[in-house]
Chain A
Amino acid sequence: MERILIVEKLKIIISSILKVDNLMMNDTISAKDVEGWDSLSHMVIITEVEKFFKIQFKLKELNKLTNMGNLISLIELKLN
């Protein structure tokens, strides 16, 4: 799957979980820049991402994530 498609799908998943309308998606934003993205909703997002893309993360991989760009790259890596 192309990166641009991943970003699109990811935007839909995150927006519906956090109930935000205009989510800004770029590589540098992190959880603390998005209202409502806390330790709890983080795991809900991760679970939904795993279900949608049919992939599985390792905790160590998640611990390394610092921004949206990392998350997109990780999904890309898992899919290819």
Chain B
Amino acid sequence: MLFNSAIFLLFFTLFILLYWLVFNKIVKVQNIFLLLASYFFYAWWDVKFLLLLITSSLAYFYLGIYISKTENTKWQKSLLYIGIFQGIGLLLFFKYYNFFILPLLGLFHSLNVNFNFHSLNIILPLGISFYTFKGIGYLVDIYNDKIKPTNDPVIFLTYLSFFPTLLSGPIDSAHSFIPQLEKKRAFDFSQSLDGSMQILWGFFKKLVVADNCAAITNYLFDNYPTLPASSLLLASFLYTIQLYADFSGYSDMAIGFSRLLGFNVTKNFNFPFYAQNIADFWQRWHISLTSWMTEYVFTPLSFTFRRTGKIGVVFAILINFILVGFWHGPNWTYILYGFLHGCYFIPLVMQDRMAKVKLKDRLFPTSIELVKMLGTFSLVMFSLLIFKASSLSQAFSYFSHIISFTVFEIPLVFNIQSTLVVIFFCIIVLLVEWFQRHKDHALQFFPITNKYHFYSRSLLLSFLFWAIILWGASGNKTFMYFQF
């Protein structure tokens, strides 16, 4: 049941009518209905793993209560570790079992020691990387006395399985989301209208930009050995936009659907292509994951290494980003991708240039800002060639192919007209987001104050609507981040 499928839209329409018209009187009843709908949504995708979601949610729920109740600090710590180990353990088993077990078996085999382990054909339960992080964050916050555990199992289970964000985030923290489940929600027309605009922008980015980019990049990446280096460079550029449009489009939809239900979900992207350096980029890209990693991985690491000065900081950043990369899946390409981003930080740390950079509030960027933006974009684009590759050898093959004089040739593509149209849509995304960069999302409009705003807004909305109808890729392509 993808957000961009007819069945989801039918499900959501029926759900929202009942949610606001029938079950809106008592918040407890509304929460039970929301929880059941979330489990129905998950079961539609993955009924086998629904039980896993429920049991691990219950484990986090009861561990949270016991951590808070117990006075003995050692026992408290043990309970926290049990929670972390069950979450990370499940993640390691489902996501990384073969990654660790195969090299180990090879090593023992070369030493003539044979074990009875074998590789397993394991299916990754959807959303496990996201709900595990929510559960672990919840327990750590209770342990640190930052929050009190909820005693209502329905509220906690709904927090972990809230269907708009269940499969791919944003990873909301318990202290921002649980209070919203505890209080009565009222339908707000202007919030809902703004949420609907965000959904429309998400649909545009997913259906018109990401899915059409995918058709081109798939062809170019599949045939790159026979094409000039410029084609691979174009593929790399389009893939960067595709990944962004796909994941931020999904996030816009998830946040928009949540707002229709009366929830404010954390922002996941803040117009990352206008970042002035790589530190700025990571404050704007996959924000909910970066915030989680900063709070629960980077901070403890940098605290441990704090007496070693800048070397300790660099070390903490490298470990943090290697884990960010590895979070995406059991592949050395992701580890290298994370390591590379960690390395990008080194010059910034060494020169004390980490502080947040603010863009000047002007219609167009200054030439220095533009150079910095293009530089940051190029670094990201370069790293995503590794992210895209299925193996390290393929990543190196991309790089060896791209370093060639044929990079100055006119790129060869499968269909020049459709490529130009897709590039045009990419430019639309970049322009609209640039002009709206101070807003929460690209289609957030303040009340219309003059005719100019009314006409420009109407023109943009009708353009997006017709672009989705005429150019929206069909076939319900899944979201790229569902695999993580």
* Residue of A36, A38, A64 touching B145 (CB-CB under 8 A): A64
Task: Select the stretch in A7-15, A22-30, A55-63, A72-80 that faces chain B.
Answer: A55-63
Interchain CB contact under 8 A, B356 and A63? no
- Answer whether residue B355 sits at the interface, using C-beta atoms and an 8 A cutoff: yes
Q: Is B75 an interface residue (CB 8 A)?
A: no
Q: CB within 8 Å of B: which of A28-49?
A: 35-36, 38-43, 46-47
Shortest CB distance A37–B (Å) = 9
A62 engages B313 (CB within 8 Å):
no
Q: C-beta contact mask, B299-313 vs A, less than 8 Å → 1, else 0?
A: 110110011000001
Contact with A along B105-130 (1 / 0, CB 8 A): 00000000000000000000000000
One digit per residue, 1 when the CB lies within 8 angstroms of any chain A CB and 0 when it does not, for chain B 33-65 equals 000000000000000000000000000000000
Q: Assess whether B303 is in contact with A59, with CB atoms less than 8 Å apart.
A: yes
Contact A36 B356 (CB under 8 A): yes
- Judging by beta carbons under 8 Å apart, are A64 and B144 in contact? yes
Given contacts A43-B302, A46-B306, contact A63 B144 (CB under 8 A): yes
Q: Does B88 touch A at the CB level, under 8 Å?
A: no
- Judge whether A38 and B355 touch: CB under 8 Å: yes
**Shortest distance in angstroms between B75's beta carbon and chain A's nearest beta carbon?**
15
Contact A39 B303, CB 8 Å, known A63-B146, A64-B144: no
The answer to whether B339 has its CB under 8 Å from any CB of chain A is no
B478 close to A (CB within 8 Å):
no
B137-149 to A contact mask, C-beta < 8 Å, 1/0:
0000001111000
CB contacts under 8 Å to A, within B346-396, are: 349, 354-356
Write out the residue numbers on chain B whose beta carbons fall within 8 Å of the beta carbon of A63.
Answer: 144, 146, 299
Number of A-B contacts defined by CB within 8 Å: 42
The docked-state distance in angstroms from the alpha carbon of A37 to that of B349 is: 14
A43 (CB) vs chain B CBs: closest residue:
B302
> Which chain B residues lie closer than 8 Å to A43 at the CB level?
299, 302-303, 306, 313
The reply to whether B354 and A41 contact each other, CB–CB distance below 8 Å, is yes
On whether the beta carbons of B356 and A38 are closer than 8 Å, the reply is: yes
Instruction: Contact check, B303 vs A35: say whether CB atoms are below 8 A apart.
Output: no
Whether a CB of chain A sits under 8 angstroms from the CB of B294 is yes
What's the tally of chain B residues with a CB closer than 8 Å to chain A? 17
- The answer to whether B302 touches A40, judged by C-beta atoms less than 8 angstroms apart, is yes
A38 to B316, CA, bound (A): 15
- Given the known A-B contacts A38-B355, A43-B313, A47-B307, are A59 and B146 also in contact in the complex, defined by CB atoms under 8 Å? no
Q: Is B356 in contact with A35, judged by CB distance below 8 angstroms?
A: yes
Which residues of A lie under 8 Å from residue B299 when comparing CB positions? 39, 42-43, 59, 62-63
| Chain B interface mostly | helix
Which residue of chain A has the shortest Cβ distance to B140 in the bound complex?
Answer: A63
Q: Does B479 reach chain A (CB closer than 8 Å)?
A: no
Are B146 and A64 in contact, CB atoms less than 8 angstroms apart? Answer: yes
Cβ of B355 and Cβ of A47 under 8 Å apart? Answer: no
Q: How far is the CA of A64 from the CA of B145 in the complex (A)?
A: 7
Closest to B298 in A: A39
Chain A residues within 8 Å of B355, by CB: 18, 35-36, 38, 41
For the complex, give the distance between the alpha carbons of A40 and B306 in Å: 10
Q: Which residue of B lies closest to A63 (CB)?
A: B144
Residue of B whose beta carbon sits closest to that of A58: B303
Q: Report the minimum CB–CB distance from A59 to chain B (whole Å).
A: 5
A38 cross-chain contacts in B, Cβ below 8 A? 354-356
- Residue among B146, B300, B355 with the most chain A CB within 10 A? B355
A47: chain B residues within 8 A (beta carbon): 306-307
Q: Is the CB of B302 within 8 A of A62?
A: no
The docked-state distance in angstroms from the alpha carbon of A36 to that of B279 is: 12
Closest-by-CB residue of A relative to B309 is A47
Which residues does chain B contribute within 8 Å of A62, judged by CB atoms? Answer: 299, 303
Cα–Cα, bound, A22→B146 (Å) = 30
Interface string of B263-307 (1 = CB under 8 A from A): 000000000000000000000000000000010001110110011
Q: Bound state CA distance, A41 and B355, in angstroms?
A: 8
- Closest A residue by C-beta to B355: A36
Between B300, B306, B349, the greatest number of chain A beta carbons within 10 A of the residue's beta carbon is seen for B306
* CB-nearest residue of chain A to B294: A39
Q: A60 to B306, Cβ gap below 8 A?
A: no
Q: Which residues of the other chain, B, contact A60 by a CB distance below 8 angstroms? A: 143-145
Q: How far is the CA of A18 from the CA of B356 in the complex (A)?
A: 11
Q: Kindly list the 8 A-B residue pairs having the minimum CB-CB distance in the complex, ordered from nearest.
A: A63-B144, A36-B355, A43-B302, A47-B306, A39-B294, A59-B303, A40-B354, A43-B306
Report 19 cross-chain contacts, Cβ distance below 8 Å, ordered by A residue: A18-B355, A36-B355, A36-B356, A39-B298, A39-B302, A40-B302, A40-B313, A40-B354, A41-B355, A43-B299, A43-B306, A43-B313, A47-B306, A47-B307, A60-B145, A62-B299, A62-B303, A63-B299, A64-B146
Residues of B near any A CB (own CB < 8 A): 143-146, 294, 298-300, 302-303, 306-307, 313, 349, 354-356
Could you tell me which A residues sit within 8 Å of B by CB distance? 18, 35-36, 38-43, 46-47, 59-60, 62-64
Known: A18-B355, A59-B303, A63-B144. 13 other contacts (CB 8 A): A35-B356, A38-B354, A38-B355, A40-B313, A40-B354, A41-B354, A41-B355, A42-B299, A43-B303, A43-B313, A63-B299, A64-B144, A64-B145
